[in-house]
Amino acid sequence: MTAVRTDLWGAPLQTGGDAGVPLFDEAVEGLLSLYGEPVAAAQAAVAADPDLVLGHILAAYFALYRTSPDGVRAAEEILGALDHAACTRTEREILHLRAARAWAAGDWDEAAHSLERALLHDSQDLLALKVAQDLYFFLGKTRDLQSVVTRVLRAWPAQKRGWGYVQGMYAFGLEENGDYAQAELFARAALHHNPRDVWAGHALAHVFEMEGRIEEGVQFLAESVPNWSSSFFAVHTWWHQALYHLEQAEYDAALALYDGPIRGLRSLEWVDLIDAASLLWRLSLNGVDVGQRSATLAADLERVIGAPTYIFNDWHAIMAFGLAGRVDLGEQLVSGNRRHAVGTNRAVAARAGIALLEGFSSFAVGRFDRAIDLLTEVRSWAHVVGGSNAQRDVVDLTLIAAATRAGEHGMARQLVAERVTRRPGTAAAAGRLLAGNAA
């Protein structure tokens, strides 16, 4: 017989007993903090209490976070098993189940909308808030990833458990929408509350990057290493540190991070692979020889490439394949996305994703005029492929390099002037691209 209890943050949780509740809370806290073993905790929760429907849904979410075909299949299997459960669903379960099924079916927008409805039903549903913001991040919907937090912000007073996580999420939304001063205030408040709030620290790292406050960024990450280096988000934080080094032309330091904490373990998780590919591409734009590293990375990516699932991943794979000279793999990716992408991913591919894939492929083989045509056309729409402003900055960097190499020096100078105006403090790095990409 089931009963309705509450999770750690006060949202209703239908269970078959007490055993699974602390494990469920541990899994959600792991997702919020980016620490621990939340996947294992979710699995343990449903093993302890098979009637814990939200535990099953959480396990499906974790599979979907992998943004891979095997992750989708794992989620479908978990969600399919719930069809045979004979319990009455709570409103929270109905909405989360709808979100997870939509995400698994490739309709990421509908998944986010279902989570928005869950928050309308209960603003204390911290799981819905976190997954919704992450989905909007994956979708490149910068306004929504801030708005979804804004609407519930007043429901989280400072004395309420979870307040710090909400501040950190709001800080990231503010940063992505260009409100850097407020983003810094909220991020620092969250970090004062909990120095190990990795997402808040991540938001602050973005502020330093986007404002060109490179020395402050280096100092902040160096001083806070103990607070995030054992997080499962650490690779991405090291990537931010590497970007700071690139801005300062410290290429050996960036390569040392690549060879060490970023790629030393040769993770096959997409969240780590995209950072590796992005860093190598940026190093190459600056004239650094990354040939052997890119060949190794391309080989690893070849192992995980499957049916089109998230074009942001495939765009970064194109970078690695282009650097490694694997034209065959790049062509397969473009063809696969043209023919087999579904749902939200198909719409994104048509609007901007294919142009990005082809633009970066063209750059890699020296067809700079073609790269200019494609990237000039798509740069205004590139946000739809997902990721952050800092991650998508590689579009402008590549366009500057393409214009320089094609002899379009007037275009290159104007692009550099635009970037420096938008991001003060980055003139030196942009200027190096303008000067011809010499390391």
Task: Tell whether 232 is covered by a domain.
Answer: no
Do 131 and 266 lie in one domain? The reply is no
Return the residue matching tokens 């913001």. Answer: 133
Do 131 and 255 lie in one domain? The reply is no
In this predicted structure, the answer to whether residue 437 has a pLDDT above a threshold of 60 is: no
- The whole-number pLDDT of residue 1 equals 73
| Cβ atoms of 21 and 13 closer than 8 Å | yes
Instruction: Please report which confidence band the pLDDT of residue 286 belongs to, taking 50, 70 and 90 as the band edges.
Output: very high
Which of 89, 111, 135 lies at the terminal end of a domain, its last residue?
135
Do 263 and 393 lie in one domain? The reply is yes
In this predicted structure, the answer to whether residue 432 has a pLDDT above a threshold of 90 is: no
- The whole-number pLDDT of residue 72 equals 97
Instruction: Please report which confidence band the pLDDT of residue 428 belongs to, taking 50, 70 and 90 as the band edges.
Output: low
Rounded mean pLDDT, 223-247: 97
- The whole-number pLDDT of residue 425 equals 72
Instruction: Please report which confidence band the pLDDT of residue 2 belongs to, taking 50, 70 and 90 as the band edges.
Output: confident
pLDDT tens, position by position, 6-44? 999 999 999 999 999 999 999 999 999 999 999 999 999
In this predicted structure, the answer to whether residue 344 has a pLDDT above a threshold of 60 is: yes
Distance of alpha carbon 361 from alpha carbon 353, whole angstroms: 12
In this predicted structure, the answer to whether residue 430 has a pLDDT above a threshold of 80 is: no
Entry pTM: 0.96
Q: Which domain holds residue 437?
A: 250-439
- The whole-number pLDDT of residue 420 equals 87
Q: Which two tokens stand for residue 16?
A: 């078959």
Which of 135, 164, 183 lies at the terminal end of a domain, its last residue?
135
The percent of residues above 90 in pLDDT, for the chain, comes to 93
Do 258 and 114 lie in one domain? The reply is no
Distance of alpha carbon 247 from alpha carbon 429, whole angstroms: 5
- The whole-number pLDDT of residue 439 equals 47
pLDDT tens, position by position, 175-232? 999 999 999 999 999 999 999 999 999 999 999 999 999 999 999 999 999 999 999 9
Helix, strand counts (H, E) of the chain: 24, 2
Task: Tell whether 399 is covered by a domain.
Answer: yes
Task: Tell whether 242 is covered by a domain.
Answer: no
- The whole-number pLDDT of residue 337 equals 96
- The whole-number pLDDT of residue 427 equals 66
pLDDT tens, position by position, 68-97? 999 999 999 999 999 876 567 999 999 999
pLDDT tens, position by position, 124-154? 999 999 999 999 999 999 999 999 999 999 9
Which of 135, 160, 190 lies at the terminal end of a domain, its last residue?
135
Task: Tell whether 370 is covered by a domain.
Answer: yes
Taking all residues of the chain, what is their mean pLDDT, rounded to a whole number? 95
| Structural domains counted in the chain | 2
In this predicted structure, the answer to whether residue 105 has a pLDDT above a threshold of 60 is: yes
Which pairs with CB-CB distance under 8 Å and at least 24 residues apart come from 32-36?
32/126, 32/130, 32/162, 32/165, 32/199, 33/165, 33/196, 33/197, 33/198, 33/199, 33/231, 34/198, 34/199, 34/231, 34/232, 34/233, 35/196, 35/198, 35/230, 35/231, 35/232
- The whole-number pLDDT of residue 424 equals 79
Other CB atoms within 10 A of residue 216 CB? 15
In this predicted structure, the answer to whether residue 438 has a pLDDT above a threshold of 70 is: no
The percent of residues above 70 in pLDDT, for the chain, comes to 97
Task: Tell whether 226 is covered by a domain.
Answer: no
Task: Tell whether 93 is covered by a domain.
Answer: yes
Q: Is 213 helix (H, G, I), strand (E, B) or coil?
A: coil
Task: Tell whether 162 is covered by a domain.
Answer: no
pLDDT tens, position by position, 395-414? 999 999 999 999 999 999 99
Task: Tell whether 234 is covered by a domain.
Answer: no
- The whole-number pLDDT of residue 67 equals 97
Q: How distant, in Å, are the alpha carbons of 17, 118, 194, 339 from that of 8? A: 15, 17, 17, 45
Name the packing angle between helices 91-104 and 69-82 (round to 10°).
150
Widest pairwise Cα distance in the chain: 73
Q: Which two tokens stand for residue 84?
A: 């045979």
CATH code of the domain in which 317 resides: 1.25.40
